[in-house]
Amino acid sequence: MSYSRLRSNADYTNAYAQSVAEPEAFWAAQAERFTWRRKWDHVLQWDFNAPQVEWFKGGRLNITENCLDRHLASRGDKTAILWEPNDPGEEAQRISYRELHARVCRFANVLEHNGAKKGDRVCIYMPMIPDLAVAVLACARIGAIHSVVFAGFSAQSIADRIQDADAAFVITTDGMARGAKKVAVKAIVDEALRTCPGVKRVMVVRHTGEEVDMQAGRDVWLHDELKQVDADRPAEEMASEDPLFILYTSGSTGKPKGVVHTCGGYMVYTDYTFRNVFQYEEQDVFWCTADVGWVTGHSYIIYGPLLAGATSLMFEGIPTYPDAGRFWQVIDKHGVNIFYTAPTAIRSLMAQGLDFVRPCSLSSLKVIGSVGEPINEEAWHWYKEHIGKDRCPIVDTWWQTETGGILISSLAGITDEKPSYAAWPMPGVQPVLLTPEGKEIMENEVEGLLAIKFPWPSIIRTTWGDHERCRQTYFSSYKGYYFTGDGARRDAEGRYRIIGRVDDVINVSGHRFGTAEIENAINESEWVVESAVVGYPHDIKGQGIYAYVIAEKPVTDPDQARSEILATVTKMIGPIAKPDKIQFVSGLPKTRSGKIMRRILRKVAENELNSLGDTTTLLDPAVVDEIKAGRV
């Protein structure tokens, strides 16, 4: 048995047992599905202390050959990308595998024509249009390393990421439309590039048609470039462990880090999880509502579905435009069979009431999924009843930018599901719960720190330019384990429920931010002396951002001061990181050694004023009363 496709609970149990007993045989069998220019010499070599993890070493491949060329004979005319525009009046686009192949080859030739080659970093800052997928795949085609930056990040954030990756190439658009809002994308890139002298070429896709400044010698229009190249470009032969992409994500420190994934293992794992978690069938239309700027979009809009030869729906807009029924309308319009979204979207649409759901039949749906943050029971039941019509299994998929693909989830309709439980580890994934001292907890019905004790094929390989940081962040807290930063509960039968982050990371609407990162941004305001940021429970966003700010002088106009802080955060990170609440304080609760006691700040933000715990070790306990009294 290769257990390539799990069709029953028994399949899952057997596959899981084999994946633990003989991980190399298990993953070698999965890897056999693909086109390799050369097979691997070793399935797995690893050492979590270094850390060093190598899958399919010696193997040679190109992931785009597996996403595109491999399907041409049998699926050439099948729709690969089904694009739904922001404006429902505009026509949807269907791009077949044959056409996508040609567009990727052409774009790859443009990249090469402009000087990009294997190993170069290419920053992609674009809205959710087909050219974004084409750009990503074109990079992979020539072996350039893509670094997609979510098109909601500020110029400063783009600049930070371009500099960190030392990217000499940028791909962007003139503008974009999100709901009724227009954004001047190219102008944001121009601003970013003022501090990025290393950028040699900017390739601009015409999308909205608006006027943009083109800097001679640096900026070119994609449509002009495309005329000069042909539609054939053999895929570059890559080693299994050559980097495929960098994706920046936030951690407990102020500076986002570039998570690096490599070609072979990422390919095998995203395909395997896509087909099995969602129980994908050949004719299914799959829709993941994430943005390609996040890992979910990389793995389950582009790579996973295309590797499986699926039709992947890509949506340019937002769930509430033109009205809060848009998701449901699009499901009916395109006969979507598998729908994968985030709890924050479910909660916000739930709050809009059923009037937006009722007019839609949703009868095409077979499987519905959730990702990015814990899904509360109320939202789970609403999703199950009103969207899944009590017929569709829900997959609550837990994973991370660093894990590349889904690690814990039920398999749709195959293994059982339980509200708010991600449930079962995927084959090949060996989760453990640890005590704070690092001891493995063997019993069930317990809570602990979630760690993984054996590598899976799409585990993070390094953080770009700083391997030590990768070691410290993920492999040093608990020796011999990959530490996730999440806390989890295991129920009596062994299902996992993710409780949330145990580090200084907050998850706002499924977007990860380090508290230090937001504090650094706030502190850029001229008159801010110090700040402390914590998360607090938020009905729609999951977590909201609560900022305590010490100002240089007494704040006379708090509204004005708040809007200045919001503007600074927008400038430094982007509007998605704006604090929901800002409280001006004269001091912060610090220990005698100067450490901020965040526990107290969290309790106040959560309005748990009577359970602040011991405050006697504070330098100035009186500050706590002031903070309690001034809670916003």
List interacting residues with ligand WTA (CB under 6 A): 249, 294-296, 371-374, 396-401, 422, 484-486, 498, 500-501, 507, 512
Strand partners, 512: 507
Identify the burial level of 468 via C-beta atoms within 10 angstroms of its C-beta, where 0-12 means exposed, 13-18 middle and 19 or more buried. exposed
Minimum distance from CB of 313 to ligand WTA (Å)?
19
627, 583 contact by CB (below 8 A): yes
The token duo for 413 is 């309709």
HSE-CB at 623 with a 13 A cutoff on CA atoms is: 20
Minimum distance from CB of 294 to ligand WTA (Å)?
6
Choose between 18 and 509: whose C-beta lies nearer to ligand WTA.
Answer: 509
Minimum distance from CB of 510 to ligand WTA (Å)?
7
Minimum distance from CB of 401 to ligand WTA (Å)?
3
Q: Within 200-259, where are the H helices?
A: 222-226
End-to-end CA distance of the chain: 59
Choose between 143 and 404: whose C-beta lies nearer to ligand WTA.
Answer: 404
The token duo for 97 is 């595998």
Choose between 16 and 482: whose C-beta lies nearer to ligand WTA.
Answer: 482
Choose between 68 and 375: whose C-beta lies nearer to ligand WTA.
Answer: 375
Choose between 434 and 582: whose C-beta lies nearer to ligand WTA.
Answer: 434
293 phi and psi angles, rounded to 5 deg: -65, -10
Contacts of residue 268, Cβ cutoff 8 Å, sequence gap at least 6: 27, 30, 31, 34, 55, 56, 457, 458
Minimum distance from CB of 505 to ligand WTA (Å)?
7
Tell me which H or E stretch contains 371: strand 367-371
Minimum distance from CB of 497 to ligand WTA (Å)?
8
Residue-level length of the chain: 632
Choose between 146 and 233: whose C-beta lies nearer to ligand WTA.
Answer: 146
Minimum distance from CB of 83 to ligand WTA (Å)?
23
Minimum distance from CB of 457 to ligand WTA (Å)?
17
CA 234 from centroid of its chain's CA atoms: 30
Strand partners, 462: 260
Residues 219-227: contacts with CB under 8 Å, at least 24 apart:
220/114, 222/107, 222/110, 222/131, 222/171, 225/110, 225/113, 225/114, 226/106, 226/107, 226/110
* Amino acid code (one letter) for 369: G
For 83: left if phi > 0, alpha if psi spans -120 to 50, otherwise beta; the answer is: beta
Choose between 27 and 474: whose C-beta lies nearer to ligand WTA.
Answer: 474
Choose between 27 and 399: whose C-beta lies nearer to ligand WTA.
Answer: 399
Minimum distance from CB of 405 to ligand WTA (Å)?
9
What is the C-alpha separation between 330 and 313, in angstroms, rounded?
10
Choose between 200 and 418: whose C-beta lies nearer to ligand WTA.
Answer: 418
What is the C-alpha separation between 158 and 203, in angstroms, rounded?
15
Choose between 168 and 406: whose C-beta lies nearer to ligand WTA.
Answer: 406
Minimum distance from CB of 426 to ligand WTA (Å)?
13
Question: Which stretches does DSSP call E strand in 67-140?
Answer: 79-84, 93-96, 121-125
